[in-house]
Amino acid sequence: MGGAGSLAEVAMSRLAAAGTDLMFGVPGGGPNIDMIEKGAEAGIRFVLTHGETAACISAGVYGNLTRSPGLAAVTRGPGVTSAANGMAQATLDRFPVLLLSDAVPAAERDRFVHQRLDQNAIMAPLTKWTGTLGYENPAEVVERAARLAVDSPAGGVHLDFDLTAPGDLPPEPPLPTRTDPEALEAARRMVATSIRPLFLVGAAAAPHTEEVRMLVEGLGAPALVTYQAKGVIPDTSPSYGGLFTNALSERPLVEAADLIVAVELDPVEPLARPWPYTTPVLALNHRPLSDSYYPVAVEVNGPLDGSLRTLQTAFSTEWPKKAGPEHNGRVLEDLHAESRGFSPFELMDAVAEASPDDPIVTVDAGAHFLVIMPFWRVSRPLDLLISNGLATMGFALPAAIGAGLARPGRPVLCLTGDGGLGMAMAELETVVRLDLDVTVVVFNDSALSLIEIKQDGQGPEGSRPYRYGPSDFAAAARAMGMDGYVATEPDQVRRALASGRGPKLIDARVSPEVYTHVIETARG
């Protein structure tokens, strides 16, 4: 193998062959410059971001929407440590990202202390696999790493770029699981004795949306979806019962079921609280569950389409007609609350009424998402993107960049809080530079409202430890070349949204008054 350029050429050519055509990152002065140059020669365009975490989030969203390995490149030392949250998000939210990083060469580590870190040790708990891209078998290393990132459950994979090391060969993704006929027969018997089956649908069911909808809607049974599965069962479906988070609001419908059918329900998706149900659970997964978050009476692994077809004729139901939508209607009615100020509900309604047609929506962590998620209607999977497994703030804006690049021609709505935007605000310039059709809507209450409500005044006496000073995000957006608007009532939001396409930010000064009610009603 020749120099860094030759190694980078091999890596980029293999990634281009795997379907990668964009690379996000913040370069340093080492071999990742060669990666960027050789990537361009292979047809992989480089997208400069302001932070490494943002690069990894954008890459993961881009990979998730294009079903290709998302690619990020960073420098060694601070580049790798700054990428940590983005790689954790990719792994826990099941987004495919391959991170390539510079490294202090192995041949120089005894004398080279500057920026010397054990980068593989840093990335090990944050990724599916981490290793070194060196002079031995570089093509196979990259090909396997790309497959591993995409292979379900997708996630983060990391490679240190080191010309002086032999390198590490990633494991081959496991072979597809074959369906066990005995497990399938046990499931059929279980289904045949049920008269009120309830479907809990997880994110990995998205590739099988048509089959899941056909079964659930044909049966007339209710279904609940996780945050990341929004759209697998459309909000307008006669079977849609709302969201499943293992919280209080969905409990009446779940407790009325005599069988829970968990369709690709990933244990990373619900809230981290005890499973409260004694109803037997039938789990349908393409691969065995790796965690025992919920008790499973029967688990069927293997191709989901085949399992659904086999079990379809065994199902029957005595659920009341439209049990799901009626339950969801009660939940939405209970969640809604009036406010003496500009309410997050009023903001959300105004955005829904005036937003461009057919948007992709990205949602940040924070109290505002508890208002958005139940009410925002989605008809297709991956039209709403949220960090659920990691639930990290600072997700929505980098995600909007990845979505805008993956779905050119479709508008993107980035719904974020002041806390989340503060973590990623420099990426507003990235949106402008790339001329993306992204509208950022800030639920601005100058506080970490979700944390403040959870703490219930338990901070130091006389202090406000969860509150920020007022910020003019519209002015900050204008300073970076983006149209910026301040809104203190719904009509101002509507007018801003009607002002045309292209990068814009609406700084909506909302009252946090309703959040306490929403949290208590939804989660208990």
Sign of the CA dihedral running 91, 36, 482, 499: negative
Measured CA to CA, the distance from residue 419 to residue 365 in angstroms comes to: 9
Measured CA to CA, the distance from residue 367 to residue 445 in angstroms comes to: 10
If one compares 383 and 112, the residue with the highest pLDDT of the two is: 383
Q: Using a pLDDT cut of 90, give the percent of the chain over it.
A: 83
What angle (nearest 5°) sits at the alpha carbon of residue 47, between those of residues 141 and 498? 135
Lowest average pLDDT, out of 24-33, 206-215, 384-393, 421-430, goes to 24-33
Average pLDDT, the chain: 93
Q: Quick one: which of 344, 399, 332 has its CA closest to 369?
A: 344
Q: What is the DSSP letter of 106?
A: G
pTM: predicted TM-score of the whole model, two decimal places: 0.94
Q: Which residues contact 304 (CB under 8 A, 6 or more apart)?
A: 205, 208, 211, 212, 263, 264, 284, 285, 286
Q: How many CA atoms, within 13 angstroms, populate the side-chain half-sphere of residue 350?
A: 24
Which pLDDT value is given to residue 462?
Answer: 45
Residues 249-261 pLDDT 10s: 999 999 999 999 9
Which pLDDT value is given to residue 1?
Answer: 45
* pLDDT at 170 > cutoff 80: yes
* pLDDT at 217 > cutoff 90: yes
Residues 368-414 pLDDT 10s: 999 999 999 999 999 999 999 999 999 999 999 999 999 999 999 99
Burial of 460 by CB count in 10 Å (0-12 exposed, 13-18 middle, 19+ buried)?
A: exposed
* pLDDT at 226 > cutoff 50: yes
Residues 408-464 pLDDT 10s: 999 999 999 999 999 999 999 999 999 999 999 999 987 555 555 555 645 444 446
Average pLDDT of the residues in 208-217: 96
* pLDDT at 27 > cutoff 80: yes
Evaluate whether 44 touches 12 at the Cβ level (below 8 Å). yes
Evaluate whether 284 touches 261 at the Cβ level (below 8 Å). yes
Q: Give residue 467's pLDDT band: very low, low, confident or very high (50, 70, 90).
A: low
Q: What does the longest C-alpha to C-alpha distance in the chain come to?
A: 73
What angle (nearest 5°) sits at the alpha carbon of residue 49, between those of residues 45 and 51? 140
Q: What is the dihedral of CA 319, 321, 324, 328, to 10 degrees?
A: -130
Sign of the CA dihedral running 436, 442, 447, 450: negative
Which pLDDT value is given to residue 461?
Answer: 47
For residue 196, what are its two tokens? Answer: 């009120």
* pLDDT at 5 > cutoff 80: no
- Convert 222-234 to b/e letters by CB count within 10 Å (16 or more is b): bbbbbbbbbbbbb
Neighbours of 56 (CB within 10 A): 34
Which pLDDT value is given to residue 379?
Answer: 95
Which pLDDT value is given to residue 310?
Answer: 94
Residues 42-98 pLDDT 10s: 999 999 999 999 999 999 999 999 999 999 999 999 999 999 999 999 999 999 999
